[in-house]
Chains A and B, each alone.
Chain A
């Protein structure tokens, strides 16, 4: 077995997800079957191979340096689930 109940809970916590005991059991079984399948990769000799993270060589792209019109606060806040004036509202963070 690749992944235990406590690891499932740890991963869920890292991903900011809550699982009930039934979900822990189900996700553990599903994740295990996928992770076991991934063992297939151990067949491949990858010694000294540079990993490929992007399909084509990618360099940094600088944007044009100059003032451009941009969206105002009103438009940026239009989708906010909770706002006050020009601010996003969240529960109190610092006591």
Chain B
């Protein structure tokens, strides 16, 4: 992304030519990363950006071609969430994040594939078919922001937006060898993001490098009166030169290196941590006992919130309505039954069950109490360290249908990413190695709330002395 910005100034490349090149490459994409391309809109924005640059604008984002996950609204382009039920929905306005990027002169190329309503970790449960991993087309790119991850990894855009409710930015970033940031809850406006689980959802940047992710994050963060959960606190400035890691205390939780962690992933992440140590960081073992319960807590809380959020799809005000129905109840039943896919139905039912009379205490309340204990774990940990490091996912990218029909095993892959969502803390995934089959491996860094400056700074310094993020599929 910063490379594109440099080419515009130093090499005299025009945004229109550059954007045309990206659009042309997208037509040859074999990964199914995009679900919609806005050719005319992108070329129009590129012309505007050209004027900005000719006028002397130094903005890193002017003319930079970006992709947007299809659960984030872009005015005039369908926002389908890869669901049949929203196949006809065209937003009347831009999400705040899109509005902010446009104001800076960024070019929106189109919308990227996801698991239906961002519920999944394979980018294969949606209505548009699976996205393939650019490193190996027989494997999943991860999910749910797999379209954005694949687009960034295969150079079909300079950067992208994803959303992360339980690892949906970091898991595909890890599987596709790119950099992804899940910001602090409230750091980025959720206005215009189709709601999945409102206490967990955050929009974040996905990019070829931590420096690029920092530029994108700086553009989209900040208070928005249209999102009542948007934080009003001032954000620390980001330093694109990186972070001096000397004396920075990095906690490595025992619970992130337990049963289920692939040997190659463990080796690469351990190497990544020792690289940070070589840069001067003090590494210490810590314990986060509640991490063990994260998946159970998450799949109660997230499905409970989803069952409530997805009640709005009734076929009345927007979206696709079932035809030939009898009464109003029949309209609801047929619209939802025909419109939602299996994974969405499974989660709506699970969420409805854990909130239903007689079970609410045992499931939803209990999970929310364990969530409170997990937040205490992290609070305690950040009393003795500045950052936490570990793997982003327990395995590398797996075969496209390897996990079909086994929802629980898929859910368990979220074990390292989920704690950041439940506690609201920011987390970054950076490439830190490759497995035996040449598949990327990601290292996750976590920081205290609103300390994305530490995360991105550490990521930049790490990438300044490693080359994993530069290797292309």
Are chains A and B native binding partners rather than an unrelated pairing?
A: yes
Q: Name the CB-closest residue of B to A14.
A: B352
Are B334 and A18 touching (Cβ within 8 A)? yes
CB distance from B117 to the nearest CB of A (A): 14
Contact among A30, A37, A51 with B365 in the assembled complex (CB-CB below 8 Å): A51
Contact among A37, A52, A61 with B371 in the assembled complex (CB-CB below 8 Å): A52
CA distance A93 to B328 in the complex (A): 7
CB distance from B111 to the nearest CB of A (A): 17
A/B interface sample: 21 pairs, CB < 8 A: A12-B349, A17-B345, A18-B337, A30-B407, A41-B366, A41-B367, A46-B366, A50-B369, A52-B368, A52-B375, A55-B186, A55-B425, A56-B424, A75-B92, A79-B89, A79-B318, A81-B88, A81-B315, A91-B325, A91-B328, A91-B330
- Give the number of chain B interface residues (Cβ < 8 Å): 69
CA distance A14 to B336 in the complex (A): 12
Are A17 and B229 touching (Cβ within 8 A)? no
CB distance from A18 to the nearest CB of B (A): 4
Contact among A37, A49, A58, A88 with B408 in the assembled complex (CB-CB below 8 Å): A37
9 cross-chain pairs, A with B, having the tightest CB-CB distances, nearest first: A55-B424, A51-B368, A79-B318, A81-B321, A52-B372, A46-B369, A61-B228, A49-B369, A18-B337
CA distance A53 to B423 in the complex (A): 10
Q: Is B416 an interface residue (CB 8 A)?
A: no
Known A-B contacts: A16-B314, A34-B408, A91-B326. Give 19 more (CB < 8 A): A11-B349, A11-B353, A16-B333, A17-B333, A31-B350, A38-B296, A43-B293, A44-B290, A51-B368, A51-B369, A52-B371, A53-B368, A55-B185, A55-B186, A55-B422, A78-B90, A78-B92, A79-B89, A81-B321
On whether A41 and B317 interact (CB within 8 A), knowing A17-B337, A78-B90, the answer reads no
Are B318 and A80 touching (Cβ within 8 A)? yes
Q: Is B195 an interface residue (CB 8 A)?
A: no
Are B407 and A64 touching (Cβ within 8 A)? no
Interface of chain A residues 25 through 47 with chain B (CB within 8 A): 27, 30-31, 33-35, 37-38, 40-44, 46
CA distance A34 to B350 in the complex (A): 9
Q: Is B373 an interface residue (CB 8 A)?
A: yes
Counting chain A residues whose Cβ lies within 8 A of the other chain, the interface size class is: 35 or more
CA distance A37 to B348 in the complex (A): 18
What A residues does B366 contact at CB under 8 A? 41-42, 44, 46
What A residues does B345 contact at CB under 8 A? 15, 17, 27
Residues of B within 8 A of A (CB): 88-90, 92, 185-186, 199, 225, 228-229, 231, 290, 292-293, 295-297, 299-300, 307, 311, 314-321, 325-334, 336-337, 340, 345-346, 348-350, 352-353, 356, 363, 365-373, 375, 407-408, 411, 422-425, 449
CB distance from A48 to the nearest CB of B (A): 9
CA distance A76 to B318 in the complex (A): 9
CA distance A53 to B370 in the complex (A): 11
Contact among A44, A53, A64, A81 with B225 in the assembled complex (CB-CB below 8 Å): A64
Q: Name the CB-closest residue of B to A3.
A: B353
Are A15 and B346 touching (Cβ within 8 A)? no
Contact among B330, B370, B408 with A46 in the assembled complex (CB-CB below 8 Å): B370
A-B contact count (CB 8 A): 153
Q: Name the CB-closest residue of A to B304.
A: A53
What A residues does B369 contact at CB under 8 A? 44, 46, 49-52
Are A44 and B370 touching (Cβ within 8 A)? yes
Interface of chain A residues 9 through 25 with chain B (CB within 8 A): 11-12, 14-18
CA distance A12 to B346 in the complex (A): 10
Are B353 and A31 touching (Cβ within 8 A)? yes
Are A16 and B408 touching (Cβ within 8 A)? no
Are B348 and A15 touching (Cβ within 8 A)? yes
Are A81 and B319 touching (Cβ within 8 A)? yes
Are A38 and B300 touching (Cβ within 8 A)? yes
CA distance A55 to B427 in the complex (A): 14
CA distance A80 to B425 in the complex (A): 38
CA distance A7 to B332 in the complex (A): 20
What B residues does A44 contact at CB under 8 A? 290, 293, 366, 369-370, 373
Are A30 and B346 touching (Cβ within 8 A)? yes
On whether A11 and B356 interact (CB within 8 A), knowing A51-B371, A88-B316, the answer reads yes
CB distance from B314 to the nearest CB of A (A): 8
CA distance A75 to B218 in the complex (A): 32
CA distance A81 to B424 in the complex (A): 37
What A residues does B346 contact at CB under 8 A? 27, 30-31
Are A18 and B333 touching (Cβ within 8 A)? yes
CA distance A14 to B375 in the complex (A): 32
CA distance A15 to B354 in the complex (A): 12
On whether A41 and B229 interact (CB within 8 A), knowing A50-B372, A53-B368, A90-B316, the answer reads no
What A residues does B350 contact at CB under 8 A? 31, 34-35
CB distance from B461 to the nearest CB of A (A): 28
On whether A17 and B371 interact (CB within 8 A), knowing A56-B185, A56-B424, the answer reads no
CB distance from A68 to the nearest CB of B (A): 11
CB distance from A10 to the nearest CB of B (A): 8
